[in-house]
Amino acid sequence: MGSEGTASVDIGSINPKVYKCEYAVRGESETYPQILEQQLQANPGSLPFDEVIFCSIGNPQALGQQPITFFREVLALCDHPSLLEKSETRNLFSSDSVARAQKILSYFPGKGTGAYSHSQGVKGLRHAIAAGIEARDGFPASADDIFLTDGATPGVHCMMQLLIRSEKDGILCPIPQYPLYSASITLHGGTLVPYYLDEATGWGLEISELKKQLEDTRSKGLSVRALVVINPGNPTGQVLTEDNQRQIVEFCKKEGLVLLADEVYQENIYVDDKKFNSFKKIVRSIGYGEEDFLLVSYHSISKGYYGECGKRGGYMEVIGFSSSIREQIYKIASVNLCSNISGQILSSLIMNTPKRGDASYESFTAERDGILNSLARRAKAMEDAFNNLEGVTCNKAEGSMFLFPQIRLPKKAIGAAKAAKKEPDVFYTLHLLESTGIVVVPGSGFGQMPGTYHFRCSILPQENKIPAIISRLAAFHESFMNQYRD
């Protein structure tokens, strides 16, 4: 068949913004390792390694991290409320899981977790989240400011969609950055205005750099609408100091920028001398009130010690916008009806964990601290390992789930990469994968200072695998350098 012309949809006839969009942490960086993994399963021994290890993405439960029992108990009970009427349930679930599930179900008319909720999310869950934010910050939070989302991603798209009118609208983003920001800005037709983090000062965020980039951009006739800050940093792992955060807030205030604060790693801090401060707390502690400052803070159930990536939950706290703009944000949310209820429930749980005296408190605390302490040890072990490699330097992972080491590649390696028509960092990480099965993401996917080469490596493989990963990495690096040393 196919007599007349089949509908013509080709690369030349699709939305060029889609074509231009790049997303380094998925696509080829994911599919090629998957092919190798399938090859290993079909034909064990056919590759120089036994296992593909995904250090490429922040996906803890894919690498064996177990979910937090309390969270899953509550979720199962909310999924199947008739369990609450059975006597056997008392033996299977902790008493505070049962109580929490009953409380959550009371927010739903008829206990119906299968209904669309309010497009901002179930009101009772938003109240619970606001209470969690208040407890964290020591400043009031309102359920009306919370928009529950399927992970942080849709919230980022929402604000980009709202703020970007054309390529004349710029969004200040850190470089290196998490590629959701570049992808979302491209898809919505805006311009990414880069500001470079200073690797020499532990990925420092300098106000002078923000000013310089802002002024350069404005001098080209662009309008800069917002500043993206990722704290703790992804892919860079730094944690901002309170002083630095105050400077950032004052900069946004002075320059009339919306502050988009990616705070999804707020639970992931691994060093004693740093602590997480939300930008909401900073804004309020300076004294800016409800109408003085425009802030959107993103949080997610995918990170922290819980790592519930597959459940797709999160929220944005939207501060300072006029009621007419909030209506527009609500409209964008409402076109997607609502975020999934399991993700909404989990979002309320991560902001309201078991309290001292609750039946689950000890086991919950042990699970949480076990994961966070192990992550801290893994971060340190991998940082040390990278710093022991020839020509490699690696800043501390103060927080988040990633290290972003710099590799000083020999000219010969850069030449070989060019001959193979690859970026030098891609060339290196591809060789690493094919020699060791270790998957990392080349720095070019996040942005890096021209002439420097990095990769992003997660600290998420289970702790007992870290020594083997480090030794394979070291052996590969030595052999790579032996091959290409100038």
Q: Binders of a copy of itself among 161-190, rule CB under 8 A?
A: 161-165, 180, 183-184, 187-188
Residue that has been written with the tokens 């399927």 in this structure: 150
- Of these, 53, 252, 319, 469, which contacts a copy of itself (CB under 8 A)? 252
- Judged by CB under 8 A, the number of residues near a copy of itself is 110
Binding of residue 36 to a copy of itself (CB under 8 A): no
Quick one: which H or E segment has residue 435?
helix 424-436
Residue 151 touches a copy of itself, criterion: CB under 8 A: yes
Whether the Cβ atoms of residue 22 and residue 182 lie closer than 8 Å to each other: yes
| C-alpha–C-alpha distance, residues 429 and 325, integer Å | 44
For position 35 contacting a copy of itself by CB under 8 A, the verdict is no
Contact 333, 147 (CB under 8 A): yes
Tokens of 440: 């990392």
Q: Of residues 53, 55, 73, 238, which one binds a copy of itself by CB under 8 A?
A: 73
What is the nearest approach in angstroms of a copy of itself to the Cβ of residue 168? 12
Nearer to a copy of itself by C-beta: 254 or 356?
Answer: 254
DSSP secondary structure letter of residue 355 = P
Smaller CB separation from a copy of itself, 72 or 281: 72
Q: Which two tokens stand for residue 161?
A: 């969609």
d(CA 56, CA 438): 9
What distance in Å separates the CA atoms of residue 372 and residue 275, rounded to the nearest whole number? 14
CA-closest candidate to residue 279, choices 257, 312, 306: 257
Q: Is 172 exposed, middle or buried (0-12, 13-18, 19+ CB in 10 A)?
A: buried
Within 75-94, which residues bind a copy of itself (CB under 8 A)?
Answer: 75-77, 79-80, 82-83, 86, 88-89, 91-92
Sole window of 234-242, 308-316, 360-368, 372-380 interacting with a copy of itself (rule: CB under 8 A): 308-316
234-245 per-residue burial string, b: 16 or more CB within 10 A, e: under 16: bbbbbbbeeebb
Instruction: Determine, following the binding rule CB under 8 A, whether residue 115 of this chain makes contact with a copy of itself.
Output: yes
- 321 lies in the binding site for a copy of itself (CB under 8 A): yes
Q: Strands 406-407, 402-403: parallel, antiparallel or unpaired by DSSP?
A: unpaired
Q: Which is nearer to a copy of itself, 50 or 291 (CB)?
A: 291
Q: Which stretch binds a copy of itself (CB under 8 A): 154-162, 204-212, 241-249, 357-365?
A: 154-162
Q: Is 322 in the site for a copy of itself (CB under 8 A)?
A: yes
Task: Compute the least distance from the CB of residue 407 to a copy of itself, in Å.
Answer: 26
Q: What is the dihedral of CA 448, 449, 455, 456, to 10 degrees?
A: -50
Biggest CA-to-CA distance, the chain = 74
Question: Mind giving me the DSSP string for 107-130?
Answer: TSGGG-TTS---TT--HHHHHHHH
Contacts to a copy of itself from residues 337-356, by CB under 8 A = 337-343
314 binds a copy of itself (CB under 8 A): no
95 counts as binding a copy of itself under rule CB under 8 A: no
Identify the CA nearest to 248 among candidates 294, 198, 207, 203: 207
Is there binding between residue 288 and a copy of itself (CB under 8 A)?
yes
Say if strands 406-407 and 392-393 run parallel, antiparallel, or are unpaired: antiparallel
Mask: binding to a copy of itself, 205-244, rule CB under 8 A, as x and -? --------------------xx------------------
Q: Which is nearer to a copy of itself, 18 or 135 (by Cβ)?
A: 18
Nearer CB in complex with a copy of itself: 254/421: 254
Element containing residue 72 per DSSP (H, E): helix 69-79
Contact flag: residue 18 with a copy of itself (CB under 8 A): yes
Instruction: Select 184 or 435, whichever has its Cβ closest to a copy of itself.
Output: 184
How would you classify the pairing of strands 146-149 and 314-319?
antiparallel
Scanning 140-148, 207-215, 280-288, 415-423 for contacts with a copy of itself by CB under 8 A, the matching segment is 280-288
> Is residue 42 at the binding interface for a copy of itself, with CB under 8 A as the rule?
no
Give the bridge partners for 223, in sequence order: 169
CB of 270 to a copy of itself, least distance (A): 22
Site of tokens 């309201």: 352
Of these, 48, 256, 370, 467, which contacts a copy of itself (CB under 8 A)?
256
User: Interaction with a copy of itself in 415-474: which residues (CB under 8 A)?
Assistant: none
